[in-house]
Structure 1
Amino acid sequence: MTEYVSTTPGCFPLPDWAKDDLSDLKGHQKHDLISGDEGEEITGVYDEARAEVIDSQLEAGLDRVVEGQLRWDDMIAHPLAVHDAVETRGIVRYYDNNNFYREPVVQGDLEASGDVAGELESAAEQVEAGLQAVLPGPYSLADLATDEHYGDEAEFLAAIADFLAGEVEAFPGVETLFLLEPSLVESSPEDGLDERASEAIDAVASATDADVVVQPYWGALEEKVYAHLLDADVDAVGFDFVAEQDQNLYNAQEYGAPDQISLGLADGQNTLVEDPEAIRDRVDWVTEKLPAAEFETVYLTTNTETFYLPYAKHEEKLAALAEAAELAEVKVA
């Protein structure tokens, strides 16, 4: 019987009070931020905010709980932006939206830093079961970065994959790992690179016993990219059914899908909160279009990060996803 799992791709908005506090503190500690030392006051605000967003997920009844990625000021470029071998430079537009990040320029060998593992260890103290890790996928992280050290595109992608695998190996016990791969859609890899992107994802996924979900978004993968992605040893592939229905459905029908699938059915960038019954109906629509598939697990999630939403709307989206998963379970039973 299919299990319906409510979750998110992480990268949450800050609670309003934390946003105000951090704005004041960062204005006074600008040098510390540039040097990578956040200071005790800033760290304390992030710790308190992390506890709050975890409580919010637990209260909503989400099946998988993330630590929120609240420190990720540079969006999914964060794991590189805080690395000792990386120089952060000017502000770059994050894909085609109105959010920005500092350009991470890799200038030395990339070794695991333990930064993300430290965040998860803090979260694990609060989450008894269902902890989910979030990382940028290796292709997207390489795409957002600039290489001034390795000198070869294939070698750089492999180095990014090894770096992320090292991060994963340091994680505390997590049940699920979401690898966020918007660049597979937004900067689709060309012939040859699409296969290497799949190999890089496979290298990261192989570093954990957790269920690994590769979550592209902002559209659908090109056919060859999708076919190569299926060669990676991952447990689930995600589909952004908010931004693109037809091509995502075609890919799954034509090339198949793993026995776990992640459905981006709630809009992570729109303040309109979906009705739980409507989300459940969208799940039915997708699965009915794939009659040959027998899914072990169906993840219900927003199609993108909820970073873009007001915090109150973000919380309402979480509650809607949790209720939709419960409705889907009841219908199956």
Structure 2
Amino acid sequence: MTEYVSTTPGCYPLPDWAKDDLSDLKGHQKHDLIGGDEREEIVTVYDEAREELIGVQQDAGLDRIVEGQLRWDDMIAHPLAVHDAVETRGIVRYYDNNNFYREPVVQGDLDFSGDVAGELEAAAELVDDGLQAVLPGPYSLADLATDEQYGDEADFLAAIADFLAGEVDAFPAVETLFLLEPSLVENAPDDGLDERASEAIDQVAAATDADVIVQPYWGALEEKVYAHLLDADVEAVGFDFVADQDQNLYNIQEYGATDDVSLGLADGQNTLVEDPEAIRDRVDWVFDQLPVSEFETVYLTTNTETFYLPYAKHEEKLAVLAEAAELAEVTAA
């Protein structure tokens, strides 16, 4: 029987009180003090906010609990933005959204950082089971960065994959790892690079015993990109059914799917809060269109990060996902 798992791609909004406190501590400059050397007062705010957000997820009944990625001021570029070999330059628009990050320019070898592992270790002290790690996928991280070290697109992607695999290897025990790959949709790799992107994802996935879910979003993958992605040794590929239903359905109908699947059915950017029954009905609708008779595990998630939502709406979305997964389990039984 199919197992339904409620989760999110992480990258949560800060609680309002934490946003105010950090604005004061950082002199009202969002990017002034991030990385591994924050002042003690800033570390304390992040620690307290992390504890609150983990508690919110647990109270909502989510099956997978993320750390929250509250320090990721540079969005999914964060693991590079805090690296010693990277210079962060001017503000760049984050895909097509009204959010911005600093351009990470790689100027030296990408050796081990441990920044994300440190966040997960702090979260692991608060989560008994169901801890989920979140990372940018190697293709998206390479796409968001500028290379001044490796000199070749393929070599740079390989270096990013090596870097992320080393970071993953240092993680505490987690049940799942979400690799966020919006660039596979927003800036699809050309012929040849699409295969290397799949190989890079495979390399990162091989660094952990956790179930790995590759989550593209803001649309659907091009056919060749999707076909190559299925070659990666991952447990699940995700689909953004909020942004594009038809092409995502076509990809599964034409090329099949992994044994597990991640369905982005709740809108991570819209303040309208869905009914749990509506999410469950969307699950049924998707499955009615597919030739696949049954998945082993179905992850129910927002289609994007909830970073863009007001904090109260974010909390409501979590509760909806948890209840929708419970309803889907009941229906399946």
| 1:187-226 Cα distance to aligned partner (Å, 9 max, x none) | 0000000000000000000000000000000000000000
| Offset, 1:117 | 0.4
| Equivalent position of 2:24 in the other structure | 24
Taking structure 2 as the reference length, the TM-score comes to: 0.98
Q: How does 1:115-130 map to 2 (within 5 A)?
A: 115-130=115-130
| Equivalent position of 1:140 in the other structure | 140
| Offset, 1:246 | 0.1
Q: How does 1:220-231 map to 2 (within 5 A)?
A: 220-231=220-231
| Offset, 1:287 | 1.2
Q: How does 1:161-200 map to 2 (within 5 A)?
A: 161-200=161-200
| Equivalent position of 1:207 in the other structure | 207
> Which AA in structure 2 matches 1:148?
E
> Which AA in structure 2 matches 1:121?
E
State the SS of the aligned residue for 2:33: helix
> Which AA in structure 2 matches 1:209?
D
Q: Write the distance in 1 (CA, Å) between the matches of 2:275 and 2:62.
A: 16
Q: Write the distance in 2 (CA, Å) between the matches of 1:113 and 1:305.
A: 24
| Offset, 1:292 | 3.0
| Offset, 1:294 | 2.1
The yes-or-no answer on 1:237 pairing with 2:205 is no
Q: Write the distance in 2 (CA, Å) between the matches of 1:67 and 1:56.
A: 11
| Equivalent position of 1:309 in the other structure | 309
Q: Write the distance in 2 (CA, Å) between the matches of 1:28 and 1:305.
A: 24
CA contact (8 A) 1:162 1:204 kept: yes
CA contact (8 A) 2:253 2:291 kept: no
CA contact (8 A) 1:301 1:321 kept: yes
> Which AA in structure 1 matches 2:44?
G
| Equivalent position of 1:14 in the other structure | 14
Q: CA 1:290 to 1:158, structure 2 compared with 1: closer, same or farther past 3 Å?
A: same
Q: Write the distance in 1 (CA, Å) between the matches of 2:136 and 2:103.
A: 15
CA contact (8 A) 1:212 1:236 kept: yes
CA contact (8 A) 1:259 1:293 kept: no
| Equivalent position of 2:113 in the other structure | 113
CA contact (8 A) 1:259 1:296 kept: yes
Q: CA 1:205 to 1:30, structure 2 compared with 1: closer, same or farther past 3 Å?
A: closer
State the SS of the aligned residue for 1:27: coil
CA contact (8 A) 1:32 1:38 kept: no
| Equivalent position of 2:299 in the other structure | 299
Percent of counterpart pairs with the same letter? 87
| Equivalent position of 1:289 in the other structure | 289
| Offset, 1:312 | 0.2
Q: Write the distance in 2 (CA, Å) between the matches of 1:150 and 1:33.
A: 28
| Equivalent position of 1:93 in the other structure | 93
Q: Write the distance in 2 (CA, Å) between the matches of 1:31 and 1:300.
A: 32
Unaligned runs of 5+ in 1: none
| Offset, 1:293 | 3.5
Q: Write the distance in 1 (CA, Å) between the matches of 2:34 and 2:49.
A: 22
Q: Write the distance in 2 (CA, Å) between the matches of 1:264 and 1:32.
A: 33
Q: CA 1:315 to 1:145, structure 2 compared with 1: closer, same or farther past 3 Å?
A: same
State the SS of the aligned residue for 1:212: strand
Q: CA 1:148 to 1:207, structure 2 compared with 1: closer, same or farther past 3 Å?
A: same
Q: How does 1:54-69 map to 2 (within 5 A)?
A: 54-69=54-69
CA contact (8 A) 1:50 1:67 kept: yes
Taking structure 1 as the reference length, the TM-score comes to: 0.98
| Offset, 1:38 | 1.0
Please identify runs of 4+ aligned residues in structure 1 that moved more than 3 A.
Answer: 28-32
CA contact (8 A) 1:32 1:39 kept: no
| 1:226-253 Cα distance to aligned partner (Å, 9 max, x none) | 0000000000000000000000000001
> Which AA in structure 2 matches 1:77?
A
Q: What is the number of equivalent residue pairs in this alignment?
A: 333
> Which AA in structure 1 matches 2:37?
D
| 1:33-58 Cα distance to aligned partner (Å, 9 max, x none) | 27862110001000000000000000
Q: How does 1:314-333 map to 2 (within 5 A)?
A: 314-333=314-333
Unaligned runs of 5+ in 2: none
CA contact (8 A) 2:36 2:115 kept: no
> Which AA in structure 1 matches 2:245?
Q
| Offset, 1:104 | 0.2
| Equivalent position of 2:267 in the other structure | 267
| Offset, 1:28 | 7.7
Q: Write the distance in 2 (CA, Å) between the matches of 1:10 and 1:31.
A: 20
The yes-or-no answer on 1:51 pairing with 2:51 is yes
Q: CA 1:22 to 1:256, structure 2 compared with 1: closer, same or farther past 3 Å?
A: same
> Which AA in structure 2 matches 1:308?
Y
CA contact (8 A) 1:164 1:204 kept: yes
| 1:286-329 Cα distance to aligned partner (Å, 9 max, x none) | 11211434200000000000000000000000000000000000
